Amino acid sequence: MQLYNSSTRKKEEFIPREAGKVSMYTCGPTVYHFAHIGNLRSYIMEDILEKYLRFTGLDVKRVMNITDVGHLTSDGDTGDDKMLKGAKREKKTVMEIAKFYTDAFFADCAKLNIKTPDVVEPATGCIDEFIRVISSLIEKGYAYEAGGNIYFDTGKLDKYYVFNDFKEEDLAVGVREGVEEDSNKRNKADFVLWFTKSKFDDQELKWESPWGIGYPGWHIECSCISMKHLGEYLDLHCGGIDNAFPHHTNEIAQSEAYIGHEWCNYWFHVHHLNTNSGKMSKSSGEFLTVSLLEEKGFSPLVYRFFCLQSHYRKNLVFSWENMDNAKLTFNKLIAKIAPLTTEAAGDIDKAEYDRLMGGFTAALDNDLNTALAVTSVYDVLKSAANASTKLALLNEFDKVLGLDMVETAKRSLEAADDTSDIPSEVMELVEQRKAARKEKNFALADELRDKIAALGYEVKETRQGTEIIKK
């Protein structure tokens, strides 16, 4: 498999250190709010990568952290503590916030058919590991205490900037938005390993350490959690492109300073989901979540399908019009698959099976080209292969794509049968409501829903489409 390696800036053959086994680390969420769909695009593409590696026969161990302490609103160790900010917003404790939004994150992942990693580790469960590694970095001369905090000394490194050709002046105070001057730092690129003089007087989560009561910085968490579960060598590290600097750069710096050798061979970065006004975030414009997609009548799997139609190294533009197009395309695809599920079974045509499977694997072997992999689905449907061969291929493809294509097709036929005894008056109102929702006329859609209810029926938007239930 050819995979683009962010650290070398080129496509390379993916070769694990240990034959047949892959150690894979994913930067997890900071659980102070719901994940927006831009965040979730990264997890979808990382899920595809993991599933394809398994599909090829590799034994993958995937680890992901949960950041429930230490992440400030600026990646440059400035701003507010995100967890504390969330707790104040909802008048709850930090751990209550962490539990609620961790559960919400994995609920969204389940809706999107994103596999839960083999190991999920919250930062608050690894305080001893953080203290041990930081203590070692101090002993080795890579960290220092200043102003009560412990900093990593980037000046001790031969090379610091890994993923981009940053220049020193690019990191000057005031150039990068949100970065404030910290007079305690020896070098402006230095970063906090441990906060002991917190500017947050009401910080809830603090622990005893050799340097006083405090809490870890964000960057040290991923390094320690990765090494705890995967050892000193890592095959593959994943995250969004916005993590490349400074988070992943700092991870490499502290990890290799601690272990004394190269740490991770391959870096996989997923690019942004943008709106027409720019990069999607929790603070800009409409806060787009999986729940909001569902409220607007979009199955989470339609969003997954939408993401697969673009390459992970390209920015993807979200709009409601683009989602409408993805939904229409996905529904047409399901409609093409549905008749196959009722056709008489036959023997699988091995030659045709191998030919079509070859197209699918060739697409994903070429830097995880999911758009071409989706095209392979259409190649199957257009082929002269019998229904058994087509269904076998689609089920195998779905082990990677995660679109539930065959099962969704079966349910669509069942749903069609279920509407046969529904009065035509109700069905007409249902179709009018669908049209109103498509046109974003939600007031009219609500009015039509009430009319349907008055006739004794309830309409619900599900992953499979509109469901009509007799009261």
Same domain for 226 and 119, yes or no, is: yes
Same domain for 54 and 199, yes or no, is: yes
Contacts of residue 173, defined as CB under 8 A and 6 or more positions apart, other chains included, come to 179, 180, 181, 188
Q: What is the pLDDT of residue 286?
A: 64
Q: Is residue 204 part of a domain?
A: yes
Concatenating the DSSP letter of every residue in 167-204 gives -GGGGSTTTSTT----TT-SSTT-EEEEESS-S-TT--
| Cα separation, 378 vs 413, whole angstroms | 20
Q: Is residue 9 part of a domain?
A: no
Q: What is the pLDDT of residue 201?
A: 61
Same domain for 260 and 381, yes or no, is: no
Same domain for 95 and 31, yes or no, is: yes
Asked which of 270, 290, 307 is the last residue of a domain, the reply is 270
Q: What is the pLDDT of residue 173?
A: 39
Split into its structural domains, the chain has a count of 3
Q: Classify the C-alpha dihedral 186-162-193-83 as positive or negative.
A: positive
Same domain for 405 and 439, yes or no, is: no
Q: What is residue 267's three-state secondary structure?
A: strand
Same domain for 249 and 319, yes or no, is: no
Q: What is the pLDDT of residue 75?
A: 59
Asked which of 251, 270, 289 is the last residue of a domain, the reply is 270
Kindly report the CATH number assigned to the domain that includes residue 27. Answer: 3.40.50.620
Q: Give average pLDDT by consecutive 10-residue segment, the chain, 471 residues.
A: 96 98 96 94 98 98 92 67 83 90 97 98 96 98 94 94 65 45 86 81 83 92 97 97 93 97 97 79 71 94 97 95 96 94 87 98 98 98 95 97 95 70 82 85 89 86 70 71
Encoded amino acid at 184, one letter: N
Residue 443 burial (CB count, 10 A): 9
Asked which of 220, 251, 270 is the last residue of a domain, the reply is 270
Q: Is residue 388 part of a domain?
A: yes
Residue 67 belongs to domain spanning: 17-270
Same domain for 425 and 465, yes or no, is: yes
Same domain for 130 and 98, yes or no, is: yes
Q: Is residue 289 part of a domain?
A: no
Q: Is residue 336 part of a domain?
A: yes
